[in-house]
Structure 1
Amino acid sequence: MRQIAHHTDRRVLTSAAVAVSVIGVLTAVSLTMDHSRPGGAPDIVQAAETSAHVPTVTETPSTESPADPTPSDPPPSPVDDPGAAHIEKATIPDGPLGIPGIALDAYHRATDRLTVEKPACEMEWTLLAGIGQVESNQGRGRFDVHGNTIGRILGPRLDGSLPGTAVITDTDGGRFDGDAEYDRAVGPVQFIPSTWAVLGRDGNGDGVGDPNNIYDGALAAATLLCGQGGSMGDPAARTRAILAYNNSLAYVANVNAWANGYAVNSYPLPADLPEIHQPEPTVEEPAAPEHCPEGWEGRPTAAPEPAPPGEPGRPVPGCTEVTPPPPPSPEPPSPSPTPSPSPEEAPDHRRAAAPAPAPPAPPGLPGLPVIELPCIAPFCVPPPA
């Protein structure tokens, strides 16, 4: 992990200098800027023509993996790509101003990759962080271990109902934004599906380009900015690049203020953050699953909280674990049947029972004769005559 708070590199120092000087050239650039795309940069359709927006956070995105669109500049092979390796979230500490560690890692990887692909651009991770902060508050800091946002982050519906926004009918069949009628900006750095089809990149080497992934979105954002030409260390070129992302001078000022803040680990002053006209934000947490997991009963009321890496999944709210029935007690052994007697041994109930033998007379004392006395009335009753 790079030392980012106390050991700034040349790009960080450049970022601070640019933020100081860029405000003075904003008006001049807006009046004299050449809107042509140098170097054959693709035309970019902006979601907001004069204003930024606050995204909506909605249900968890589909698990289907969309096809990775062909980028304008082919990325290097995964072996040479510093952004291809995967790092678990638990190993990445938060960065300056509380920026999520996994987002910080994504910005550094995208910067390293653009330094290889377009060294003249002099991309800075702080610039990407400034865009991520203004667009979605760093994805609300809610990413899984692969960099996917927990809950889909969507901009307003581009149907012309909001002042200053473009009207863009559906271009992706609702694959990324869930809307098959109009497009919506998607992900932590807010790409419109039609723009993603041109500039979408695979930033984490998983073979999928998804705007809902911070690694993919950061690399695509760096590609968009560098595609405008010039060095990000030059205030005019930097302003032109940010305006291509969102055609608003207040937006440019906010991005540069946050970029400078990340460079020096200090929050921007309110005076450096002019108001960007935007609708009131709404947040919809991920939808609850339809059914409780196997072995649980009840009705789910919310989506479960994500579990840290290596730990079992969290229980689904509203579901109760079913107590298994006690094991059946073992049956007592059945008594062995008594064998029936043979016909010879079977008793004949038709014959009278033999009289029981008389008990033996008590023996006399040893050595003494036995004397039988006659019965004398009235001590005994004489036998009948």
Structure 2
Amino acid sequence: MDTSRSAPPDIAPLAESSPSTPTVTESPLTAESTPEAEPAAPEDSGALHIEPATIPDGPLGIPGIALDAYHRATDRLNAANPACEMDWTLLAGIGQVESNQGRGQFDVHGNTIGRILGPRLDGSVPGTAVITDTDGGRFDGDPEFDRAVGPVQFIPSTWALLGRDGNDDGVADPNNIYDGALAAATLLCGQGGSMADPAARTRAVLAYNNSLAYVANVNAWAHGYAVNAFPLPSDLPEIHRPEPTIEPPKLPERCPDGWEGKPTAAPEPAAPGEPQLPVPGCSEVTPPAAPPAPSTSPTPTPTPGHEAPPAAAPAVPAPPGLPVFELPCIPPFCAPPPPA
């Protein structure tokens, strides 16, 4: 997600997660293809068999097939949900900001010629979330982490919920402009309200990307498509990435065990592998001296012929409650008298 200099409402973005320019890698997947398919960039000979779209371009040079996709998605969404009042220019604004209208390179079915991918969501790019793989690399070609995919940049986990088949070919593919446009319209209208209402429209676009600068860019391009005039640079503020959030350490409620006093500040963070630094305001309690261990006299070694008599076995007390009988000694079972 992104933030601008003006703090937007706390809305979690559902589609793309970074304003970085997406990269173009492999050819888009079809229902039969696999993530291990051989790459085919538009300039490579392997892409020459792809028949490009031939629909004439629209306002501001918007690709004709993208314009057709936005109109179809708008008509379909407004028929199902008239209260949304979706406008094709809003979808076109998102397509422009997200991928420059898929770089204007689509085949006759609306698939991008070359797969358009956002940054790898492994936490290496500041301001991006960490999202482990959710699609097995089917759409983004990455079996470890997710990446935003396609001309309108959907994260695979979001596509699993909102993906739509916009061209009725039986496949919902984020690399297809018809599918992506209908999914984007569904996401926007799902936020509630009419897209003709500025407040509801802003809330919906923030759900796509949580940045007021992003909203300004989308609206500027949408207006440009409506009047067939390019936005002014002042209408396109830079979309800033958020700085990492660093929470200051909290003041401990009490001193650690074995320390006394009252904490006055949080301890400095210790280096990895080093012991925790002392808490300011706490002093270590000196442990009391241990008592001396009792001395034990060595056991004397008996000399031959003067072995000590065996110790008498301790008398076993009678169970409580039973009488004790003293029996007389009957020779020869009497113990010999002690020597005089």
TM-score by length of 2: 0.62
- Which is bigger in relative contact order (C-alpha 8 A, separation at least 6)? 1
Amino acid of the structure 2 residue aligned with 1:261: G
Deviation at 1:163, TM superposition (A): 0.9
The 1:65/1:239 distance shift into structure 2, 3 A limit, reads: farther
Alignment of 1:344-363 (within 5 A): none
Assess, with a 3 A threshold, how the Cα gap between structure 1 residues 189 and 46 changes in structure 2: closer, same or farther: closer
Q: CA deviation at 1:65?
A: 4.5
User: Alignment length, in residue pairs?
Assistant: 220
Residue in structure 1 matched with residue 315 of structure 2 by the alignment: none
Q: Deviations over 1:288-316 (max 9, x none)?
A: xxxxxxxxxxxxxxxxxxxxxxxxxxxxx
Q: Report the counterpart of residue 53 of structure 1 in structure 2.
A: 20
- Give secondary structure in 2 for the equivalent of 1:89: coil
- Unaligned residue ranges in structure 2 (runs of 5+): 34-51, 242-340
Q: Which residue of 2 aligns with 1:246?
A: 209
Partner of 1:89: 53
Distance apart, 1:61 and its partner CA: 2.7
Shift in Å at residue 45 of structure 1?
4.0
Quote the residue 1:200 is aligned against.
Answer: 163
- Kindly provide the CA deviation profile for residues 159-208 of structure 1, in whole angstroms up to 9, marking residues without a partner as x: 01111111100000000000000000000000000000000000001111
Q: In the alignment, what sits opposite 1:111?
A: 74
Q: 2: CA distance between counterparts of 1:167 and 1:123? A: 32
Change (3 A) 1:176 1:169: same
| AA matched with 2:106 | F
**2:235 maps to what in 1?**
272
Alpha-carbon RMSD across the aligned residues, in angstroms, is 2.1
SS at match of 2:222: helix
Partner residue of 2:87 out of 120, 124, 132: 124
Q: Structure 1 residues 96, 47: CA separation in 2 closer, same or farther (over 3 Å shift)?
A: closer
Residue matched to 1:186 = 149
TM-score (norm 1): 0.55
Q: How do 1:292-311 residues align onto structure 2 when only pairs under 5 Å count?
A: none
Please say if 1:62 is aligned against 2:29.
yes
Contact conserved, 2:22 with 2:117, CA < 8 A, in 1? yes
Q: CA deviation at 1:275?
A: 0.6
1:168 paired to 2:131: yes
C-alpha distance in 2, partners of 1:123/1:62? 29
What's the CA shift string for 1:28-51, capped at 9, x where partnerless? 9x35x7x5xxxxxxx864542xx5
Check whether the contact 1:46–1:166 (CA below 8 A) recurs between aligned residues. Answer: no
Taking a change above 3 Å as real, the CA distance of residues 169 and 57 of structure 1, as seen in their structure-2 partners, is: same
Task: Give ranges in structure 1 of 5+ residues lacking alignment.
Answer: 1-25, 36-42, 67-87, 279-385
Q: Counterparts of 1:255 and 1:231 in 2: how far apart (Å)?
A: 16
User: Radius of gyration: which is bigger?
Assistant: 1
Amino acid of the structure 1 residue aligned with 2:66? A
Q: In 2, Cα distance between the equivalents of 1:236 and 1:184?
A: 30
Give the Cα–Cα distance (whole angstroms) in 1 for the partners of residues 31 and 88 of structure 2.
Answer: 30
CA shift for structure 1 position 261: 0.3
Residue identity (%): 81
AA matched with 1:60: S
Q: Is the 8 A contact 1:47 1:166 kept in 2?
A: no
Q: Choose from 98, 102, 111 the match for 2:61.
A: 98
